[in-house]
Amino acid sequence: GNKIAYGYGNNLFVKDLVSGTTKQITFDGEKNRIINGITDWVYEEEFGFVRAFQWNAEGSYLAYIRFDETEVPEFSMDIYGTGLYPTEETFKYPKAGEKNSLVSLHIYDFKNDKTKEVEVNKPYSDFYIPRIKWTNDSNVLSAQYMNRHQNELDLWLINAKDHTSELALEERDEAYVDITDNLTFLKDNSFIWTSEKDGYNHIYHYDKHGKLINQVTKGNWEVTNYYGFDEKNDRIFYQSVENGSINRDVYSIKLNGRDKERLTKSEGTNNASFSADFSYFINTYSSATTPPEYTLNSAASGNLIKSIKDNDALSQKLSEYKTSAKEFSTININGYDMNMWMIKPADFDETKKYPLFLYQYS
């Protein structure tokens, strides 16, 4: 396309790169009141994104989320600079139980120069819109709606042309539904989705209306990272703990759930970054005894193509110090076996008592 959209002063603008002209799309943006297309603090912090607008493939529609912060409580912070006294910055900051921004979804139509607020066929109150994404149909936008408790998530398919909406998927959990960027639309507008609905995080394939085609991965283990889908070669790439809960390996599998292949062979943590066409990946490998190593690998087989950085110098330096190895085991807590590790003094004596330094994170 030849246009770019951007947020400025809590409003959205579009600049034509050919003519150089700029068009203002929204006009009601105001600090600490209305934000168009850029997220508020909650979305940036909790849902991990800032840009709350999306072009469709043809550049004919621009979808965006509007945040009404009017009723959100304010927080003040002193800003120290070059002056003798600090300045005070006041911004909207909801704490637990306080009011959040009121959000709404809008679609701007460039052909008709009109903006339409999206209305789905279900009432919501005190809710989030943590993700929006256009499908491969330039008229259809996907939007995820979530309740404030964050244990109910609905995936909507919204037609920008006739303003109809279809509820494609519902996720429910007693505790929490995770928000990810794993939603992938295929050429036929079927889609790949990750879910913990069977008790473990796995990959699923649905048709364009949200009907389940098949569960791609299965087992009493977690998919810990979804890397993407190579539609040309019919391969999904992901990371999982199939080889033990303290290990992370990279795998590929067909969309029908068959012909699974483990692409990394070293026990420890493997994390991949794939090329745009899924021909190659850079693997970052580390373990309790190995500092990070970086290699270029074939995505088809996992075979090593080139060592990028091996950190041998660091390993050699560490070997000169008198350190003990980590000892891995499990401990049963409330009926569950939890992974743990321990480092004992280099001159450890089983007959002696030692002070224990315990690191805990939650």
Give the tens place of pLDDT for each residue, 270-312. 999 999 999 999 999 999 989 999 999 999 999 999 999 998 9
Number of structural domains, the chain? Answer: 2
In a domain, 311, yes or no: yes
* 143 shares its domain with 200: no
Domain that holds residue 318: 185-323
Identify the CATH number of the domain in which residue 245 sits. Answer: 2.120.10.30
* 146 shares its domain with 211: no
Q: In terms of pLDDT, which residue wins out, 318 or 31?
A: 31
For position 292, what pLDDT does the model report?
96
In tens, the pLDDT along 217-234 reads 999 999 999 999 999 999
* 242 shares its domain with 317: yes
Identify the CATH number of the domain in which residue 53 sits. Answer: 2.140.10.30
Last residue of a domain, one of 142, 158, 179: 179
In tens, the pLDDT along 251-265 reads 999 999 999 999 999
H-run or E-run covering 169? strand 165-172
- Nearest CA to 160 out of 86, 71, 63 is that of 63
In tens, the pLDDT along 96-117 reads 999 999 999 999 999 999 999 9
* 190 shares its domain with 159: no
Does position 360 have pLDDT exceeding 90, yes or no? Answer: no
And the tokens for 19?
């003519």
Amino acid symbol at 106? H
Contacts of range 228-236, beta carbons closer than 8 Å, 24 or more positions apart: 228/184, 228/274, 228/278, 229/184, 229/186, 229/192, 229/255, 230/277, 230/278, 230/299, 231/186, 231/187, 232/277, 232/278, 233/278, 233/300, 235/278, 235/299, 236/192, 236/203
* 299 shares its domain with 316: yes
Last residue of a domain, one of 147, 179, 211: 179
Across 87-92, average pLDDT: 95
* 171 shares its domain with 249: no
* 71 shares its domain with 211: no
- 202 and 216 Cβ atoms separated by less than 8 Å: yes
* 208 shares its domain with 233: yes
And the tokens for 241?
């703990």
Does position 362 have pLDDT exceeding 80, yes or no? Answer: no
* 198 shares its domain with 84: no
Distance CA 203, CA 130 (A): 20
Average pLDDT, the chain: 96
For position 28, what pLDDT does the model report?
98
